[in-house]
Structure 1
Amino acid sequence: MSNPTAPPSYDAAVDEKGYGGQVNPQYATQYGTETQPLTGTPYPQATGYPPAGGYPQTGYAGYPQSGPPQPQPQPYGYQPQPVASPVYNAPVGSGPSESENGGFSTRGTFSDKSVRRMFIRKVFIVLGLQLLVTFGIVTIFTLVDDVREWVKANRGFYYAAYAVFLVLYIVLVCVESVRRKSPQNLIMLGIFTLSLSYMTGTIAASYNVKAVMITMGVTVLVCAGIILFSMQTRFDFTKCSGVLFVLVLVLFLFGFIMIFAFRYDWYMQVVYGCLGALVFGLFLAFDTQLIMGGRKYELDPEEYVFGALNLYIDIVYIFLFLLSIFGGSGD
């Protein structure tokens, strides 16, 4: 019969898996054996991954203590080395504006949808007022015979309006501080609209009344279709600025040649009008996507005057080129 007070067997007193060959503290307490600090790891750890709360600290009888690791004493004069923070490479377009140049900027300025909607609303309200003034003047210059004859007899006002148009256009396009400062930007835009409207009305007065009215209707339909198409299509017209520059250069050279070589050939006038309407139709799509945003390039939210100016010029030039195609001389 076994003695209950006899010391345990070696296998019972030693647990190789849990205590690394050391004496089990249960029997060490019972039989008065002094427990030594354990050198092995009492619990298996996953290689390469510290446990939650830091690495365990060895306490009494090898049991781990919870909490972060305790700071170790450092020798006198020790200076900790600064740890370099990791470099964060922000994704393209994550900031408010990746780059800006003359009112044009890359994607990112319209992160807030309410800002975009307010900007688009301002642009189209200003554009609507401009077109209302322009087509109103064109209608008066075309339908009222006295005004029509007076405009034809006083060509000097046309050239004065052209000078005002050119100066204000250069200022509004090139001087960013002017077109962003209210109310002087709106005042200058209003004078610019009146000057171009007078020029457009003077040109329309030289054409048949019926042709002018038909051209106004066609212009409204064409421009509305281009604007709606530009809003819905996935094709990015803002990437085609180089192509548009080449087309404008071709249009300019073609018109310069017509002055000397094909001045009285009606079919060349039709070709020139079709080319001009095509080029400014593409410009209308380009400027519409700049305003709507979400493309490679877009306008800054403060550039509502610049956006309305671009759309207004595109529509007026489309009207003039279409008038040269469909219009019959009223002289």
Structure 2
Amino acid sequence: SMAEEEKAEEKKVDKSQEDVEEGKRTPAGASNMRFDNASIRARFVRKVFTILTIMILVNCLMVAPVVVIESVRSLVSQYRWVILIAFLVFAVTSCTLMCCQSVARHFPCNFILLALFTLSAGVILMVICAELPPHTIVLALVTTCLTCTAIIIFASQTTCDITGCGFILFVACIAVMIFGICIGILSFFMDVHWLSIALSAVVCILFMIYLAYDIQMILGGRKHEISPEEYVFAALCLFIDIFEIFTSLLNLFNAAN
């Protein structure tokens, strides 16, 4: 009868309302949730790459006069000691943003620290590039751009998930740091030119892998992923990867010359 059909419909509506209240999702609800998550992730990715682009542009604008104008290059060479201050700011700001989640998520502290980090990285590159011939810098820049583009495409398209290799990469990074310290100590007693070249090659390869790892963590959909709230942290990680690749290539190409 019509009355029985109406009661059955009411029971279905009540049941669906109970499912919603209990946190259960209908297929349509699950689809909407997936769409929302994809939309949030897409906005996060756009924000990260926008911040990264600004950071890279700032560094390019800082380094360009050193490469192009001889008087600026000579001036920077006279004040090479500022690289020590820049390294200190670079280390403190990067460690703070990486280790203190509350600071990395809190506006405007996160952007202030990121700005200081970006400027310190620019100063470091200015001092390094002031000691190198322009063609070496341009060659390293072009190689870095091509390499990073290829890695980004590979990491986003491959079915291979490397987000579970974080611990292995961390251990490798510590090992490379210890190797670098040992080379620094040995340099006081012997010629470590070839060891320095080997270190640059290892660092370059390591951070290429790190770049692929970070790209997959940012894009999401893998075993591990970065939270959309960590956009400053994500941009910082990508910048450090590219920074290390570029400086390693500078050393390798300069050694080749």
Q: Normalising by the residue count of structure 1, what TM-score does the alignment of the two structures yield?
A: 0.64
Q: How far is 1:183 from its partner?
A: 2.7
**Match of residue 172 from structure 1:** 97
Q: How far is 1:110 from its partner?
A: 8.9
Query: 1:149-189 CA distances to partner (integer Å, 9 max, x unpaired)?
Result: 12111123211122222221122112222221223322221
**Match of residue 257 from structure 1:** 182
CA contact (8 A) 1:116 1:292 kept: yes
Three-state SS of the structure 2 residue aligned to 1:192 is helix
**Match of residue 157 from structure 2:** 232
Q: What CA distance in whole angstroms lies between the structure 2 residues aligned with 1:178 and 1:266?
A: 40
**Match of residue 294 from structure 1:** 221
Distance 1:193 1:274, change over 3 A: same
Q: 1:318 aligns with which of 232, 245, 252?
A: 245
Distance 1:269 1:113, change over 3 A: same
Q: Give the residue type in structure 2 aligned to 1:124.
A: F
1:213 aligns with 2:120: no
Q: What CA distance in whole angstroms lies between the structure 1 residues aligned with 2:196 and 2:135?
A: 19
Q: Give the residue type in structure 1 aligned to 2:182.
A: I
**Match of residue 182 from structure 1:** 107
Q: What CA distance in whole angstroms lies between the structure 2 residues aligned with 1:253 and 1:280?
A: 16
Three-state SS of the structure 2 residue aligned to 1:207 is coil
Q: How far is 1:138 from its partner?
A: 2.0
**Match of residue 9 from structure 2:** none
Q: Using CA pairs below 8 Å that are at least 6 residues apart, which structure has the higher relative contact order?
A: 2
Query: 1:260-286 CA distances to partner (integer Å, 9 max, x unpaired)?
Result: 336634332321111010111111111
CA contact (8 A) 1:207 1:328 kept: no
Q: Give the residue type in structure 1 aligned to 2:185.
A: F
Distance 1:110 1:264, change over 3 A: farther
Distance 1:149 1:109, change over 3 A: farther
Q: Normalising by the residue count of structure 2, what TM-score does the alignment of the two structures yield?
A: 0.81
**Match of residue 72 from structure 2:** 147
Query: 1:80-129 CA distances to partner (integer Å, 9 max, x unpaired)?
Result: xxxxxxxx9x9xxxxxxxxxxxxxxxxx9996211011000000000001
Q: 1:327 aligns with which of 251, 254, 257?
A: 254
Q: What CA distance in whole angstroms lies between the structure 2 residues aligned with 1:198 and 1:213?
A: 18
Q: 2:82 aligns with which of 123, 142, 157?
A: 157
Q: Give the residue type in structure 2 aligned to 1:326.
A: F
CA contact (8 A) 2:197 2:255 kept: no
**Match of residue 59 from structure 2:** 134
CA contact (8 A) 1:211 1:326 kept: yes
CA contact (8 A) 2:186 2:192 kept: no
Q: How far is 1:319 from its partner?
A: 0.3
CA contact (8 A) 1:109 1:300 kept: no
CA contact (8 A) 1:230 1:289 kept: yes
Structure 1 window deviating more from structure 2 (214-223 vs 260-269): it is 260-269
**Match of residue 195 from structure 1:** 120
Query: 1:25-83 CA distances to partner (integer Å, 9 max, x unpaired)?
Result: xxxxxxxxxxxxxxxxxxxxxxxxxxxx9xxxxxxxxxxxxxxxxxxxxxxxxxxxxxx
Q: Map of 1:33-72 to 2, 5 A cutoff?
A: none
Moved over 4 A (4+): 108-111
Identify, as 1 or 2, the structure richer in helix: 2
Query: 1:219-254 CA distances to partner (integer Å, 9 max, x unpaired)?
Result: 011111111110011111111112212221221122
Q: What CA distance in whole angstroms lies between the structure 2 residues aligned with 1:317 and 1:290?
A: 19
Q: Map of 1:60-99 to 2, 5 A cutoff?
A: none
* CA root-mean-square deviation: 2.4
Three-state SS of the structure 2 residue aligned to 1:297 is coil
Q: Give the residue type in structure 1 aligned to 2:179.
A: F
Distance 1:240 1:329, change over 3 A: closer
